[in-house]
Amino acid sequence: MKTLARLAGLTIAAVAMLAAPALAKEWTTVNIGTEGAFPPWNATKPDGTLEGFEIDLAADLCERMKVKCNWVIQSWDGIIPALQAGKFDAIMSGMSATAKREEVIAFTEPYGSTGQTFAVSKSSDLAKLPLNGELFPLASKPEETAKAIETIKPYFKGKVIGVQASSIAEGFLQKNFADVAEIREYGKTQEHDLDLASGRVDAIMASMAYVGTASKEPGNEEMTAAGPRFQGGMLGKGSSIGLRKGDDDLKAMFDKAIEEAKNDGTIKKLSEKWFGFDVTVY
């Protein structure tokens, strides 16, 4: 009987601990989930520790918020379910706030945005795609963007384009290029890089930042960015911190810290260190 009572007590304590985040709680520790495989946003060093723009930025934000932050490495395709399951409290993994994701989780204000672009082999005929490097915002300049897509579309006829499955670029490709090209989906971005190098795919689509970093990796010597850059609209507002719906206090804390980091130039400084250009969302 005594054991039973103790067990019951333990159960109640456990339930109370599980239920705690639902109540208003004083945030002293925030666990942040990241893929650790998406440089320069986040990457895993050979010794297993993390580095990248988000790692530096989070250190700054957590200091502003006066909380202790811990990192949890989580594969990309399970990252939202893991947030919901309480494995961590926030996602910082180069995740863009899209309408579809906003149905499931909450997002802070964006802390960084680079456009999406194509990458091809230097020797391929796609390397000479027109509108190279020009930026097309989907939301604010829809006509120009539509015209740009029509201009480059014929170049992709019968080609295979590799892209990370369920990424914003995948949605963009399915909508605009699926009628002329085969869209092949990969679990990890490194995998489409390998297939671009081997010639299994003719082009890949990823963020400008990713292409910049990946093309410097050994084995990707042939990789080069090509064609226009796209951003905004269905490509998302930019990378934001993903939070569970209901953690409004945490969202307010992060929003305030991001705003401060934006205004005092911390984001600009860190992005120039990691990307080589400013990714601040103005």
Partner 1 sequence: MSFAFFQETLLTLLPGVPLTLELAFLSTAIGAVLAVTLALMRLSGVLPLDYFARAYVFAFRGTPLLVQIFLIYYGLSQFPAVRQSVFWPVLREPFWCAIIALSLNTGAYGSEVVRGGLLSVPHGQVEAARAVGMSGLLLFRRIVLPQAIRQALPAYGTELILMVKATSLASIITLMEITGRAAKLISDTYRVIEVFVVAGAIYLIINFVLTRIILALEFWLTPHLRERPEARELPADSAGEHA
- With CB under 8 A as the contact rule, which of the stretches 119-127, 132-140, 191-199, 208-216 interacts with partner 1? 191-199
Indicate whether 214 belongs to the interface with partner 1 (CB under 8 A): no
- Structure-derived torsion over alpha carbons of residues 40, 162, 173, 74, reported in degrees to the nearest 10: -50
Indicate whether 217 belongs to the interface with partner 1 (CB under 8 A): no
Indicate whether 219 belongs to the interface with partner 1 (CB under 8 A): yes
3-state SS assignment for residue 70 = strand
Considering Cα of 149, then 159, then 101, then 40, what sign does the dihedral take?
negative
Residue with tokens 């995998």: 191
Q: Which of 200, 216, 245, 273 binds partner 1 (CB under 8 A)?
A: 200
- With CB under 8 A as the contact rule, which of the stretches 28-36, 120-128, 189-197, 242-250 interacts with partner 1? 189-197
Cβ contacts of 266 within 8 Å, gap of 6 or more: 57, 60, 260
Of 66 and 200, nearer to partner 1 (C-beta) is 200
- With CB under 8 A as the contact rule, which of the stretches 57-65, 129-137, 179-187, 232-240 interacts with partner 1? 179-187
Considering Cα of 61, then 66, then 68, then 74, what sign does the dihedral take?
negative
Widest CA span in the chain? 79
Of 72 and 131, nearer to partner 1 (C-beta) is 72
Indicate whether 272 belongs to the interface with partner 1 (CB under 8 A): no
Residues 92-151 that bind partner 1 (CB under 8 A): 100, 104
Minimum distance between the CB of residue 4 and partner 1, rounded to whole angstroms? 32
Cβ contacts of 206 within 8 Å, gap of 6 or more: 116, 117, 119, 163, 164, 167, 169, 189, 192, 214
Of 77 and 217, nearer to partner 1 (C-beta) is 77
Residue with tokens 């295979």: 160
Minimum distance between the CB of residue 166 and partner 1, rounded to whole angstroms? 3
Residues that bind partner 1 (CB under 8 A): 77, 80-81, 84, 100, 104, 165-166, 184-187, 191, 194-195, 197-200, 219
